[in-house]
Amino acid sequence: MVLSKLAELIGLYDVLAPIRSDDNCKPEETDRVSTKRSRLDAQKKAEEVAASRGVFAKNQRVQYHNKLTNAVSDAVIIGVHLDDGPDDPYYTKRYKKQQEVVQDDGSPSVRIVEVEKQTNPDRLSRVEWNAEKSWELLQ
């Protein structure tokens, strides 16, 4: 016990077994991590508030149901429009879909196309929160 106090007083523990702290991290790394955490927290809170009001938030991940083709696609809300009043919002969403294209030689091929469309809330459904996927959208 006496030797422990002596080692602590002269700073021997700091040399032999330094305590890892955030001071050892680079400032840029700390800023990047705290920015990511605060933006994700703000997005999650915005989605929770929107869900409590029965609407969707901007940058929220959703599933879009295309009634014409009966296809379901992952989408993201890029605009919330309240032109018809706060009780009747509509949304601009962005999603990717496959599109068949005929090449010059006549052979068919498939390419992925990014589409932006406006839709009403009955074609959208909520998806489970995923921090990594949400962070990809926020960057």
Going along the chain, which residue ranges are E strands?
A: 61-66, 71-81, 90-102, 108-119, 124-126
Question: Residue 112 class from Cβ within 10 Å (0-12 exposed, 13-18 middle, 19+ buried)?
Answer: exposed
Condensed to tens digits (0 to 9), the pLDDT of residues 44-91 reads 999 999 999 999 999 999 999 988 889 899 999 999 999 888 888 999
For residue 81, the model assigns a pLDDT of 93
pLDDT in tens, 5-21: 666 666 665 656 555 55
* Separation of first and last alpha carbons in the chain: 52
Q: Give the global pTM.
A: 0.70
Quickly state the pLDDT bin for 30 (edges 50, 70, 90).
Answer: confident
Say yes or no to pLDDT of 29 above 70.
Answer: yes
